[in-house]
A and B are shown apart, each in its own frame.
Chain A
């Protein structure tokens, strides 16, 4: 887990920073932050599998699209997730993500917040000497 929630970025929403030595690690960390914003992954059983494939023009758009799709699936399929693995192909500017989760069951699961959207507010994806870093604000 290479993400942390930030308390001094936004008032009404949730901000996090995620890092990774590689782009695949970065995307996995950021996706983990999104799924943990919605529910404690330890309380979710891996009963369902969802696959997401995205292709974009830039890395920041690619990550944005992936995170948006996770939020979309939460509403469309009424699902929360316990784990995610992302594989990024930088040359093709594409990502494949595999997520496990379960239908939303409030009596059994520790649910957190209903994320509305990924925002462009203070959104950054950057490469540094340790690898990659992103900062994301989710609308709550």
Chain B
């Protein structure tokens, strides 16, 4: 239940941004829980976050501490904003630590257009994008695949898109894991998941998913911004937020059920049924990991085909090729995923299975997983705010690798329920109000639009400043929205 009035746990304050809940808080906690937040964000968090995070701290094989980022809010199983790393041998893998929307993520694309160039054509552009990129409930994608081709999507992710004309070779260097997670095994995916999702390649979905036209509002680090393709204030960029659609949702659903039986067999007790898990080394744990990788690859492919469709829409609107418009991918990040990564645990390097649910990988400089383009500066991190307030481009840091398994926030974090937001404002009224403020929105659902109103989210600047001041990620550019296709 959403509750912000109950007393806070007795935190151990480690710094202005780090608050620990010791293992004495709850029976069964194997490690402490740690929340990254300003004092204001901490006090405003719904109290279920603390209960959920300390439940995560009870899971077998968890390392060092269960983490929650400043955009944290209650979810099911893990809180949204949750990060936990597990020992590869004694630890578990949990769909509740990843989310139903496997590899829900963000991508950011540049243009060489300015706000002035776009202003007079904004309605035409957003209308075209709304027409060309399916959004909302269900929906067939604009990419027609048969089940055989979809197998290649599962295995090869964004690489399949490039091989089939949906993008540029260069795009792959600007994606987490080059747009393809290893270990994908389509044989571990149910027919039900395939039949649910294979028609949805090239769809945004709904909820908080969107496609947004933005301009660079503030540049905090000009040198790095230029390296990433952001050269001046008022430069137009595009941000996309979506995931693996019904395909990923079904894989999570399937394995939550399978894991319920595994837990009985393995004698694993959990404090929340949505924390259903399996030993990572078990047959079922491995099967889920391989199926999850298939969904992650579908999500990379989904965002890639959408990028190519966006390029087509810009070409049509501005009568220039995407190359001429310099529509380059800055980066693509996953924020609902589990990955095998090497991190220091008590000073020693160790391979771990790191879960991020509503949290973004933010590797600092030097990590070999990064493309050579980013190995010296660190990984770009894209954090989407509400459709009214703006978004950010950040960079990963060494400190993140030391403290958070190279993880940071993923968004602003909700502060009001969808049902409550709908009672506050009507979608059509909000649409008109936003247009008066220079943000043109097209939506597949007016009730869905109302649910995504800015007041339903935490102030994004507070979230970003917390991560920046804590040294976990570094602010590079803030973006302001001017056009939005809302699922």
Contacts and interface: CB of A to CB of B under 8 A. Distances in A.
Contacts of B207: 12, 113-114, 116, 140
A122 to B, nearest CB: 8
A80 B74 contact: no
B356 interface: no
A117 B139 contact: no
A6 B422 CA distance: 12
B274 A78 contact: no
A12 B447 CA distance: 14
Interface residues of B, number: 52
A110 B197 CA distance: 23
B444 A111 contact: yes
B6 interface: no
B322 interface: no
A9 interface: yes
Contacts of A113: 137, 206-207, 418, 445, 447-448, 451
B233 to A, nearest CB: 33
B213 to A, nearest CB: 21
Contact of B140 (A14, A78, A112, A119): A78
Contact of A104 (B101, B138, B272): B138
A111 B136 contact: yes
B100 A9 contact: no
B139 A104 contact: yes
A117 to B, nearest CB: 5
Most buried by B among A11, A12, A80, A118: A11
Contacts of B451: 113
A74 B245 CA distance: 12
Contacts of A106: 136, 139, 444
A137 interface: yes
A110 B444 CA distance: 9
Nearest to B272: A121
A62 to B, nearest CB: 14
B192 interface: yes
A119 B487 contact: no
Nearest to B487: A114
Given A5-B419, A8-B1, A11-B415, A72 B206 contact: no
Contacts of B446: 110
Given A10-B74, A12-B418, A139-B76, A117 B445 contact: no
A137 B199 CA distance: 26
Given A7-B420, A123-B273, A114 B138 contact: yes
B22 interface: no
A76 interface: yes
B266 to A, nearest CB: 19
Contacts of A8: 1-2, 417, 420
B409 interface: no
B20 to A, nearest CB: 24
Contact of A117 (B138, B253, B416): B253
Query: What band does the interface of chain A fall in when counting residues whose beta carbon is under 8 Å from B?
Result: 35 or more
Interface string A92-119: 0000000000001010001111101111
A13 interface: yes
Contact of B417 (A10, A71, A78, A110): A10
A30 interface: no
A140 B206 contact: yes
Nearest to A12: B414
A123 B77 CA distance: 13
Nearest to A38: B137
Nearest to A123: B273
Given A111-B444, A123-B273, A116 B137 contact: no
A9 B206 contact: no
A12 B249 contact: no
B77 to A, nearest CB: 8
Contacts of A117: 100, 249, 252-253
A94 to B, nearest CB: 18
A2 B208 CA distance: 28
Interface of B: 1-2, 46, 73-77, 80, 100-101, 136-140, 192, 195-197, 199-200, 205-208, 245-246, 249-250, 252-253, 256, 272-274, 276, 414-420, 423, 444-448, 451, 487
Interface of A: 5-15, 38-39, 68, 71-72, 74-76, 78-80, 104, 106, 110-114, 116-123, 137, 139-140
6 contacts: A110-B446, A112-B447, A113-B137, A113-B445, A114-B139, A137-B76
Given A104-B138, A113-B448, A120-B273, 7 more contacts: A11-B74, A14-B419, A114-B139, A114-B207, A119-B100, A139-B100, A140-B207
